[in-house]
Every structure is written in structure tokens, then in C-alpha cells.
């Protein structure tokens, strides 16, 4: 069931390791970003794409250019929250093709009114680019950007974070749930995984 939540897809990276805009690369017959779109459509009332590449306009969702270019993920999160109409927002990177709506629904169900809810899994691995963010963190983001403090880790130290444990005890969990495509090798691995599903 869709709620008043915006899905913010981050696709603004330069993809230096990939050599091209990775969100547009084809994985198992469709653009990588399409996997993020499909999972967010199940839960969100609207979706926006944060990128400086106008080619993403073909997907039919608002494309928002970074307010402050070249700041990395924190700049994309800032831009997304600045342009959202929702208090609660799923921030999802364009390069996580195996994330599923059940994991995001669980994350939402564990939201305890913290400003940010972030999955944590497998020996304390955290996933800040697959997380639930409140628009209320904008003042802190603004402060960090002005101070050129661009580390999401530092943001996590300065706001109330709800760490949501996800592991193999959950039906929706699988080892590749948070798999990240960041170079040609990982794209090839993702293709192999897709063929096995």
C-alpha cells in the first residue's frame, strides 16, 4: 500500500570506475535504474530522480539537478529532500538491483520517528543509500555542506538514527540484497545472479 512517501533515486555519480553513467547501463535486459524505480513504485506516492543527466527524463519521473554539483551522495540527498513533498523519503541509489520492496516495507515498519532509519546487516555493514530520511534533517545537511563536511558518516553522528537490523532470519533477506554495482566486474556478477534467479 502506497503512503505519502517520496522515493528519491540517486543517480548523480560520475561512475568513474564504470566509465559511463551506470544507472543507464543494461542489466538483464533493462537499465540498472529501472530496478530502483520498480521497487519504489510499490511503496511510494511519488518518485524523483536526482541527477545532472537529462537522459533520465525518458523514465517519466521528475529529474532534479544537484543544487551543489560534485558533492557526492550527501549532495544528492540534500537536493532530493529539498525537492520532496513528503516528510518521509526513501533514498535509494540507482545501483542496487537486488533490493526488494519487502525490505523497504520492513524498514518503514520499524520507523520509530527517528530522523533517519538505516539498514544494518552482515557484521555491521550499513546502507545509508538505501534508507528512510526525514525532510527535517535539511538544516543539518545545509550546515555540513557549508562546512564542506561531505561524509554521510558524520551526518549519522549528529542526528538521531534508527539502525534497523536485517539478516537471514527474515524471509525477504538474501545475500545479494544490498549488492552494489560499481564497476564492470560487479555488473557481470549481477548479470550472473540474475540468470540464476
- pLDDT, tens digit, for every residue of 37-92? 999 999 999 999 999 999 999 999 999 999 999 899 999 999 999 999 999 999 99
136: exposed, middle or buried (Cβ count in 10 Å: 0-12, 13-18, 19+)? middle
pLDDT band at 196 (very low <50, low <70, confident <90, very high): confident
Are 45 and 32 within 8 A, CB to CB? no
Coil, strand or helix: which one is 35?
helix
Are 56 and 37 within 8 A, CB to CB? no
Mean of the pLDDT values across residues 3-25?
Answer: 79
* Range scoring the smallest mean pLDDT among 11-25, 33-47, 83-97, 153-167: 11-25
Assess whether pLDDT exceeds 80 at residue 184: yes
| Per-residue model confidence (pLDDT) at position 13 | 58
Tell which residue, 180, 171, 70, has the closest CA to residue 129. 180
| Per-residue model confidence (pLDDT) at position 2 | 65
Spatial separation of the C-alpha atoms in residues 5 and 178, rounded to whole Å: 21
| Per-residue model confidence (pLDDT) at position 30 | 96
CATH (one of 2.10.10.90, 3.90.550.10, 3.40.50.10800, 3.40.50.1860) for 3-196: 3.90.550.10
pLDDT band at 171 (very low <50, low <70, confident <90, very high): very high
Q: Is the pTM for the entire model greater than 0.85?
A: yes
Mean of the pLDDT values across residues 125-148?
Answer: 97
Spatial separation of the C-alpha atoms in residues 193 and 112, rounded to whole Å: 34
178: exposed, middle or buried (Cβ count in 10 Å: 0-12, 13-18, 19+)? buried
pLDDT band at 21 (very low <50, low <70, confident <90, very high): confident
Report which of residues 90 and 197 the model is more confident about. Answer: 90
Helix 101-109 vs helix 32-41: crossing angle, to nearest 10: 50
Going from N- to C-terminal start, the domains of the chain cover: 3-196
The alpha carbon dihedral of 68, 137, 105, 121 has a sign of positive
Tell me the per-residue pLDDT of 111-129, one tens digit each, with 9 for 90 and over: 888 999 999 999 899 999 9
Here the cell at position 127 is 546502507
Amino acid at each position: 500500500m502506497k503512503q505519502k512517501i517520496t522515493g528519491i533515486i540517486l543517480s548523480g555519480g560520475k561512475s568513474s570506475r564504470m566509465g559511463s553513467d551506470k544507472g543507464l547501463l543494461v542489466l538483464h535486459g533493462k537499465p540498472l535504474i529501472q530496478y530502483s524505480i520498480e521497487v519504489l513504485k510499490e511503496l511510494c506516492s511519488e518518485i524523483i530522480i536526482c541527477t545532472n543527466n537529462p537522459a533520465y527524463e525518458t523514465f517519466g519521473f521528475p529529474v532534479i539537478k544537484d543544487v551543489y554539483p560534485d558533492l557526492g551522495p550527501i549532495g544528492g540527498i540534500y537536493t532530493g529532500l529539498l525537492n520532496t513533498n513528503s516528510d518521509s523519503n526513501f533514498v535509494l541509489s540507482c545501483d542496487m538491483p537486488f533490493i526488494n520492496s519487502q525490505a523497504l516495507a520492513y524498514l518503514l515498519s520499524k520507523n520509530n520517528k527517528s530522523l533517519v532509519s538505516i539498514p544494518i546487516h552482515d557484521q555491521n555493514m550499513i546502507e545509508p543509500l538505501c534508507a528512510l530520511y526525514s525532510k527535517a534533517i535539511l538544516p543539518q545537511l545545509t550546515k555540513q555542506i557549508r562546512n564542506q563536511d561531505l561524509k554521510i558518516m558524520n551526518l549519522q553522528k549528529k542526528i538521531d538514527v534508527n539502525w534497523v537490523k536485517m539478516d537471514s532470519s527474515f524471509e525477504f533477506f538474501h545475500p545479494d540484497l544490498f549488492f552494489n554495482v560499481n564497476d564492470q566486474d560487479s555488473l557481470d556478477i549481477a548479470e550472473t545472479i540474475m540468470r540464476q534467479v
